[in-house]
Structures are given as C-alpha cells and as structure tokens.
Amino acid sequence: MSGLRTNIGPSSTRRRIATLVALVGLLVVGNHLASIWPRDVEVAYTIDTDVTGIDVDYVQGGDAVASVRFTRPPAKSAVLRHTVRLQPGEYQARIVVYSSDGSGVEHQRRLQVPAAGESRFNLKKTAKRSE
C-alpha cells in the first residue's frame, strides 16, 4: 500500500490556482466582449401624414455605420418602426424627411445604445432643422 499516491499536495494546489486564474480570465474577457458586442435596438419614427419617406443614417465618429430607408406604406401609418444592430455607444441619427411636395428636411437626433425599450423619434411638424 505504500506505492499508492494521493491527489493531495503541491500539484493539486497548482491545478486549483490555474483553474481559478482561467475562470477569472474568462470573466474579464466575457465582460469586455459584453460591453462591445452589437445589440438590436428598436427604433420608431412618428411622422406626419404628408411624409412620403425618410432616410436615416446612424453616425458614430463621423462615419455612417448603419442606414435605413422608408417609403410611406399604403396604410398611411403614423409610426415607422425598425430594428438596427449597433455596438454600445452614442450615435447621431441623421434623418431626412421627405414631404409630398418632394422637399426634404434634415434633422439630427441622439441615440444611446443600449437603450431600455424602444427609442422613439417624433418627426411630426418638423418644418425646420433641429438638434
């Protein structure tokens, strides 16, 4: 029986420490990835009945990272909704609203990602440029 070895000792302690270090490393990397991983953001635009379409560019750091184009649906819905996938951070939504007379008016709105629930932009009665 003297030839039997136990699993208790310095090598077992090293394995436990290595496992603990690996778990802490996974938590740190997972936390970092969670903070930069793209998320789905629900956005709604409330528009007037004479709007024929809108163009939206989501801009971060001077570059458009996502875009969407809407044309007026036949049902004359006052709210246009969509989901966009963006990394966490602050964005400028550059919005051009087109009226039935063919003119387009540009607006800018701020969008913070992640957002709790749906982000809504009211574009009713927007006859002039806004911030």
- pTM, rounded to two decimals: 0.69
Residues 43 and 27 in one domain: no
Please list, in sequence order, all residues whose beta carbon lies within 8 angstroms of the beta carbon of residue 59, skipping any fewer than 6 positions away: 65, 91, 92, 93, 94
Degrees to nearest 5, angle at CA 8 with 6 and 14: 130
Count of structural domains within the chain: 2
Please list, in sequence order, all residues whose beta carbon lies within 8 angstroms of the beta carbon of residue 69, skipping any fewer than 6 positions away.
53, 54, 55, 56
Residue by residue, pLDDT tens for the chain (131 residues) are: 555 665 555 678 888 888 888 888 888 887 777 767 888 999 999 888 888 889 999 999 999 999 999 887 666 668 888 999 998 889 999 999 998 888 889 999 999 988 778 889 998 876 444 44
Residues 22 and 45 in one domain: no
Residue 74 burial (C-beta neighbours within 10 Å; 0-12, 13-18, 19+): exposed
- Verify that 1 and 22 share a domain, yes or no: yes
Give the CATH number of the domain where residue 83 resides. Answer: 2.60.40.10
Structure letter (DSSP) for residue 1: -
Q: What residues make up the domain containing 114? A: 39-122
